[in-house]
Amino acid sequence: GSIVYLGMMVGAFFWGGLADKVGRRQSLLICMSVNGFFAFLSSFVQGYGFFLFCRLFSGFGIGGAVPTVFSYFSEVLAREKRGEHLSWLCMFWMIGGIYASAMAWAIIPHYGWSFSMGSAYQFHSWRVFVIVCALPCVSSVVALTFMPESPRFLLEVGKHDEAWMILKQIHDTNMRARGQPEKVFTVNRIKTPKQIDELIEIESDTGTWYRRCFVRIRTELYGIWLTFMRCFNYPVKDNTIKLTAVWFTLSFGYYGLSVWFPDVIKHLQSDEYASRVKHFHNEEVSHFVFNFTLENQIHSNGEYINDRFVMMKFKSVTFEDSLFKNCVFEDITSLNTYFRNCTFVNTTFYNTDLEQYKFVDSELINCTFFHIRTGCQISFDDDYSAYWIYFVNFLGTLAVLPGNIVSALLMDRIGRLTMLGGSMVLSGISCFFLWFGTSESMMIGMLCLYNGLTISAWNSLDVITVELYPTDRRATGFGFLNALCKAAAVLGNLIFGSLVGITKAIPILLASTVLVCGGLVGLRLPDTRTQVLM
């Protein structure tokens, strides 16, 4: 998870900057292609290191989608409906989350979909899930090939003829939809074109190909850096600083609590499960055949002589200080099962998943192992909590639907600032209800409430960000803030994750404080509801 966030953090800054240099559509096509390629590749690789490498570059590609697509879409919208339509665009983040949650719930538990080609190549159901998650990206790349470039960007770089053609196409399409096809598109004033970068033109005529390539890359990177530095120049400097504070606090609080919620629910489940554990002491069993499931048990100081453990499942079972002599373990599947300080004498293990790490400080004397299965062998039919994880994630994602609809309908009516500040303050206040979350169902309810409140803040922040930056640095500024968002998310995950099971007070106070403070800073931003894009 962290490696993907790292890739998204770098990708948001790089692709956002590139979108201000080469165009929104071009940047989107490249970054989505990078994501799609490495997402597909990660589904098939077998080594963990190479898998992380693919996920890193997949994150690097998808990181450019958010800053670029918001800049792209905002630049073809009329001022009167800009906030509403950008909010509907935000809803597709939720739809993507519902799609991912539903696919995980529907695909990953089906272990029967797995196949292998010898011991060298394994393909499990989670790999099917990775492929399915990459399909929307592929369809986006195909659709983008039929889309025009942003006319505002084309005007910014002096391609006014191309911009005029795209604007005329938009105008004619809208007029036909209104039943007024006879209206003619006219332009009264046009922006003065910029000069093309002479260094690139000179180098394209001289030097070797790799020299030209190096100069081109160096110039583009330098141009991205210069555009980024201009985000801290007048008149957008104050806005950048305030937006930095709001993006950081919202991301830190949201993602921090998002990782804390499932871990707390899991912790509550573990505590409840542990409270039902059965203890067995000083057992003496001989010449007995165990052929049933053992679950949530601790066996201490037992002696098992000439026993057979056949066609069994051990789930959360621990044997301590026990003796196994002349025993047979055959066709055994285990989960969270350990033998601590046990002694095995003349014991045979056949077709089991009892690997060496499950024998903790144990002594094995004249024991034999045949056909040991490695990896996780338990199925989702045996581990119902696995279904619960996906169900909770699906509910949390679905809970933002009302907030999305409300923010879309009210964005242009009550204003971006009211929605941003109000949503963050209410989210911070809702954190205090977590004091009363003593059960799984209550925590899930709090998670849905929290997600539903924060989504309006996210939507209004996205709208405000694209409206506060001029066209020549819009994607760069958005990319920088989105990169900061991912850094804050990783920091929030680390801090909040380390507090699970220790205390509720610190996460609740920390999340509520940063959200309320961020909301108050957001209220100090200028109102962009009636503002024409710069």
Phi–psi pair at 328, nearest 5 degrees = -130, 130
Q: Which of 318-322, 411-415, 479-483, 518-522 has the lowest mean pLDDT?
A: 411-415
Separation of alpha carbons 113 and 128, rounded Å: 9
Q: What percent of the chain has pLDDT over 70?
A: 90
Angle value at C-alpha 271, between 269 and 272, nearest 5 degrees: 65
Expressed as residue numbers, the domain containing 354 is 277-370
DSSP E strand boundaries for 229-292: 278-281, 284-286, 289-290
Q: Per the structure block, which two tokens stand in for 496?
A: 């909040």
Integer angstrom CA distances of residue 468 from 9, 95, 385, 474: 21, 27, 46, 8
Predicted pLDDT at 379: 55
Q: Is the pLDDT of residue 201 over 50?
A: no
Pairing of strands 359-360, 338-340: parallel
Predicted pLDDT at 4: 86
Is 47 exposed, middle or buried, given 0-12, 13-18 or 19+ CB atoms closer than 10 A?
A: exposed
Predicted pLDDT at 105: 79
pLDDT band at 200 (very low <50, low <70, confident <90, very high): very low
Is 268 exposed, middle or buried, given 0-12, 13-18 or 19+ CB atoms closer than 10 A?
A: middle
Q: Is the pLDDT of residue 154 over 80?
A: yes
Q: What percent of the chain has pLDDT over 90?
A: 22
Q: Is the pLDDT of residue 338 over 90?
A: yes
Report yes or no on 297 lying in a domain. Answer: yes
Report yes or no on 68 lying in a domain. Answer: no
Report yes or no on 467 lying in a domain. Answer: no
Overall domain count for the chain: 1
Separation of alpha carbons 427 and 521, rounded Å: 15
pLDDT band at 221 (very low <50, low <70, confident <90, very high): confident
Tell me which H or E stretch contains 305: strand 303-305
**What's the CATH code of the domain at 347?**
2.160.20.80
Q: Is the pLDDT of residue 123 over 90?
A: no
Q: Is the pLDDT of residue 328 over 90?
A: yes
pLDDT in tens, 177-199: 888 888 888 877 765 555 444 44
pLDDT in tens, 225-271: 888 888 788 888 888 899 999 999 998 888 888 777 777 777 777 77
Predicted pLDDT at 498: 77
Predicted pLDDT at 115: 63
Predicted pLDDT at 303: 94
Angle value at C-alpha 193, between 24 and 167, nearest 5 degrees: 55
Report yes or no on 420 lying in a domain. Answer: no
Mean pLDDT, all residues of the chain: 83
Q: What is the CA radius of gyration of the chain?
A: 29
Q: Per the structure block, which two tokens stand in for 148?
A: 């025009």
Report yes or no on 70 lying in a domain. Answer: no
- Among 23-32, 217-226, 434-443, top mean pLDDT goes to 23-32
Predicted pLDDT at 434: 74
Report yes or no on 339 lying in a domain. Answer: yes
Predicted pLDDT at 405: 86
Q: Is the pLDDT of residue 202 over 50?
A: no
Predicted pLDDT at 112: 58
Report yes or no on 507 lying in a domain. Answer: no
How would you label 450-489 residue by residue, b for 16+ Cβ within 10 Å and e otherwise? bbbbbbbbbbbbbbbbbbbbebbbbbbbbbbbbbbbbbbb
Q: Which of 35-49, 93-107, 289-303 has the lowest mean pLDDT?
A: 93-107
Report yes or no on 341 lying in a domain. Answer: yes
* Segment 139-160 mean pLDDT: 88
Q: Is the pLDDT of residue 382 over 60?
A: no
Residue 290, beta-bridge partner list: 309
